[in-house]
Amino acid sequence: MPRPLPLRKTHGTAYNLDPDTERVPVTAVSVGDVVMEGPGHPARIERVTRTGRARYRVWVKYIWQPAWEVAWPLGEFDATHPLNRALPGEYLTA
């Protein structure tokens, strides 16, 4: 059984809404990684598509969304654009 998360990370919910993160370029993220869409809004990457010479579109779902819901575009970014990726161990992997 996983250890319970501290209240400062869950804000009273069942989800880790405030993971420890590192800033990485878009080219360093992959499917399954969790990135922060905004404060308290972690989103799991569903797919990354290349849209141009050095541009990438990232498709995500919030960690609380059910599997049957459709992924939505987080945005289209230059290859060097930084994203806040959750550190290993912050979320269970599938």
17 confidence band (pLDDT: 50, 70, 90):
confident
pLDDT, tens digit (0-9, with 9 covering 90-100), for 63-73 = 999 999 999 99
Q: Do 58 and 42 meet the contact criterion of CB atoms below 8 Å apart?
A: no
In the chain, the domains with their CATH numbers are 21-86 (2.30.30.30)
Is the per-residue pLDDT at 7 higher than 90? Answer: no
Mean of per-residue pLDDT scores for the chain: 87
Entry pTM: 0.85
